[in-house]
Structure 1
Amino acid sequence: MRYCTRDDLGNAIPLMTLTQLSNDDPAALQPNESVINDSVRQAEELADGYLRGRYSLPLAQVPTVLRDAVVYLARHWLYLRRPEGALPDAVKDSRKDTLKLLESIRDGVVTLGLTTGHAVPEPGEIRVRARRQRFGAASWARYQ
């Protein structure tokens, strides 16, 4: 399931800017949908990398916090396609904040609040087994 739609990205980036960021033809009037799809795919895969150890993927429902995170990451990727211009501070800051959020989700500090999901055990989990107890409280009471 996709974490964000084309409309979600269109709400975050004005049409003219989206056209300039995604289309290599300076005279283009419409965004290049293939490039936009690549930016969303890359952002979703990055988000999945953080979520993989904590949640079972693919997610049945997409929380808005995750949708917004993918939009910010895709927007940053689109801006990076134009190295001749400086990245706006808002784009750089939103990416940095989004990565911190994804780290917090990965570490269990922030949850996605999914009702159907459950935390997946961390890799390398250690299980311990012990023998049955031979001496209980009654046995030790006789030695007093």
Structure 2
Amino acid sequence: MTYAVKQDLVDRFGATELIQLTDRTNMPPSTIDNVVVGRALADADGVVDGYIGKQYKLPLSVVPPVLVKIAADLARYYLHGEAADKDSIVSRNFASAIAWLKDVSKGLVLIEEQGEPPEQAGGGAIKTSAPNRVFTRDTLRGY
């Protein structure tokens, strides 16, 4: 399932940033490389699916706007790669997105407009067996 698309990245971060991050053939950079953007978006989708798949049945029937933002922040971080400064807004947004996804996977945060939750495992009755008691009221009578 795709949570964010190239246009979401352009709308949120601007075409200039995407051109600078993705155009590896032209000097100076002049176009957005769709392959590079697609790879970053696919990586982001995989991370999102990995976390929310623990609580929700995938694919979701409707993609909530919050997941578009989360996927866009993850993809932006992947596009920056090793050039992302630890204290930059890109790194902070990435860390925030991962923390939010962890909360979703633990069930602390619910996704609105989500698909149906997966069926829980098990559901059967618990059976136990033990030997008969040796010491009962009747066997200890008279002591």
Q: Which runs of 5 or more residues in structure 2 are unaligned?
A: 129-143
SS of 1:46 mapped into structure 2: helix
Q: Which runs of 5 or more residues in structure 1 are unaligned?
A: 132-144
Give distance in 2, aligned partners of 1:94 and 1:57: 25
Select the structure of larger CA radius of gyration: 2
Computed over aligned residues only, the root mean square deviation of the Cα atoms, in angstroms, reads 2.2
Aligned to 1:100: 99
Of 83-92 and 69-78, the range deviating more from structure 2 = 83-92
1:110 aligns with 2:109: yes
Q: 1:11: how far off? A: 1.3
Aligned to 2:136: none
Give distance in 2, aligned partners of 1:128 and 1:67: 41
Instruction: Tell me if the contact between 2:85 and 2:91 (Cα under 8 Å) persists in the aligned partners.
Output: no
The C-alpha deviation readout for 1:14-66, integer Å capped at 9, x for no partner, is: 21211110111232311101100000000000000001121111111100111
Q: 1:129: how far off? A: 2.8
The C-alpha deviation readout for 1:97-118, integer Å capped at 9, x for no partner, is: 0001001111111111226x22
Aligned to 1:11: 11
AA partner of residue 117 (structure 2): A
1:124-135 counterparts in 2 under 5 A?
127-130=124-127
TM-score, length-scaled by structure 1: 0.78
TM-score, length-scaled by structure 2: 0.78
Moved over 2 A (4+): 25-28, 83-88, 125-131
SS of 2:24 mapped into structure 1: coil
Give distance in 2, aligned partners of 1:58 and 1:51: 10
Give distance in 1, aligned partners of 2:29 and 2:15: 12
Instruction: Tell me if the contact between 1:69 and 1:98 (Cα under 8 Å) persists in the aligned partners.
Output: yes
AA partner of residue 64 (structure 1): P
Instruction: Tell me if the contact between 2:55 and 2:117 (Cα under 8 Å) persists in the aligned partners.
Output: yes
Aligned to 2:69: 68
Give distance in 1, aligned partners of 2:72 and 2:102: 17
AA partner of residue 45 (structure 1): G
Q: How many aligned residue pairs are there?
A: 127
